[in-house]
Amino acid sequence: MYHHIKKMMYTVNVGTPDVRFGNMLLEQFGGANGELAAAMQYTIQGWNCVDDLARRDLLLDIGTEELSHLEVVGALIRMHLKPMKENREAAEADPLICIAGGGGVDLRNSMGNAWTADYLKITGELDVDLRSNIAAEARAKIVYERLINYTDDPGSIDTLQFLMTREITHMKAFSAALESLEKSPFSIGRLAVTPGIGSEYFNASTGDGNEGETDMHGPWQSSFGLHPVESEMNGGPGLSIGDIKGIAGPEGRGKQDSGVKAATATDVLTVDPKPVPQTDAAQTGKQAFLRETPTK
């Protein structure tokens, strides 16, 4: 249940309204990385997260705060858009907002696109959702930074600095929640990947380019057990695709609170008496009863 307190989370002051800056700010109201997107992503993840009540609380704490941010950035935009009601040239900065919306804020981005739930990343797999949230906070931070760089108005800078700061706070909280699951870093879901081919970095872009680029090397080809493999198209052996023989086995699950585990579509399939073919030596010896015949 929600309650609204009329006092905003941050008091917005604008010196000289700047209509085109107000239009830019719409990115954080109705844009892909804006406050409604954040509020909805975390809140809905939280509502779906019924198996880990502690992290559900986290998701709703931050989801709710983002609604308060939506109100703050909306007030900032509204103040910047004010001249639009009186001035034809100002109206040209965003005719949709002005002519259809009367010059108020609306759930659209700086190019007038309506907000869409296609912006959201919600999988119902807790550790995956936390990774999506960490990335989302990083994106929101850089967008606020760019907005700060395009205004001189001190009140606007203060408001944006407040909102930008909170994104990093949330990024820290989501990172802590992910780490506290104590799951191994590249273990996602319950099915193990195929070991051999999983370690091959495939070199699919080669040659020398028009802007000085060439076929370079970096730790991404040799970290975490990876090694580079040349494409057949570049004279190499290609991926060892002959290795794939169905399901490789189960992954370990992370530690969760209250003894409950994260929701995943695979949970119900773990009591299958049919052994899963194992190709990974590391998995041999383990009994793998992973899949049952899906109910049809």
- Identify which of residues 146 and 287 has a Cβ nearer to its own copies in the complex: 146
- Identify which of residues 228 and 287 has a Cβ nearer to its own copies in the complex: 228
User: Contact between 183 and its own copies (CB under 8 A)?
Assistant: no
207 is in an annotated binding site: yes
Q: In the bound complex, what is the minimum distance in angstroms from residue 229's beta carbon to its own copies?
A: 10
170 is in an annotated binding site: yes
Collect all residues with Cβ–Cβ distance below 8 Å to 187 and sequence separation of at least 6.
251, 252, 254
Footprint of its own copies on residues 247-276 (CB under 8 A)?
247-248, 257, 263-269
What is the rounded CA–CA span in Å between residue 272 and residue 265? Answer: 15
- Identify which of residues 267 and 286 has a Cβ nearer to its own copies in the complex: 267
- Identify which of residues 87 and 287 has a Cβ nearer to its own copies in the complex: 87
Among the listed residues 22, 164, 181, the one whose alpha carbon sits nearest the alpha carbon of residue 93? 22
What is the rounded CA–CA span in Å between residue 158 and residue 166? Answer: 13
- Identify which of residues 6 and 285 has a Cβ nearer to its own copies in the complex: 6
Q: In the bound complex, what is the minimum distance in angstroms from residue 266's beta carbon to its own copies?
A: 5
217 is in an annotated binding site: no
Q: Is residue 247 helix, strand or coil?
A: coil
Q: Is residue 67 helix, strand or coil?
A: helix
149 is in an annotated binding site: no
118 is in an annotated binding site: no
- Identify which of residues 269 and 285 has a Cβ nearer to its own copies in the complex: 269
Among the listed residues 125, 131, 214, 134, the one whose alpha carbon sits nearest the alpha carbon of residue 171? 134
Footprint of its own copies on residues 119-178 (CB under 8 A)?
119-125, 127-128, 131-132, 134-135, 138-139, 141-143, 145-152, 154, 157-159, 161-162, 164-166, 168-169, 171-177
Give the CA distances from residue 190 to residues 16, 108, 269, in Å, rounded to whole numbers and listed in that order. 55, 39, 10
User: Contact between 283 and its own copies (CB under 8 A)?
Assistant: no
3 is in an annotated binding site: no
Q: How many residues bind its own copies (CB under 8 A)?
A: 184
The only residue of 87, 252, 284, 286 in contact with its own copies, by rule CB under 8 A: 87
Name the CA dihedral angle for 100, 102, 103, 106, rounded to a multiple of 10 degrees: -60
Footprint of its own copies on residues 193-252 (CB under 8 A)?
193-194, 197-226, 231-234, 239, 241, 244-248
Q: In the bound complex, what is the minimum distance in angstroms from residue 291's beta carbon to its own copies?
A: 6
What is the rounded CA–CA span in Å between residue 138 and residue 171? Answer: 7
What is the rounded CA–CA span in Å between residue 70 and residue 220? Answer: 38
Collect all residues with Cβ–Cβ distance below 8 Å to 244 and sequence separation of at least 6.
194, 197, 279
Pairing mode, if any, of strands 227-230 and 200-203? parallel
Footprint of its own copies on residues 101-120 (CB under 8 A)?
101-120
Give the CA distances from residue 198 to residues 80, 239, 253, in Å, rounded to whole numbers and listed in that order. 52, 10, 20
- Binding-site residues for Ca(2+) sit at 57, 61, 203, 205, 207
Residues contributing to the annotated binding site for Mn(2+): 35, 66, 69, 137, 170
As annotated, the binding site includes 35, 57, 61, 66, 69, 137, 170, 203, 205, 207
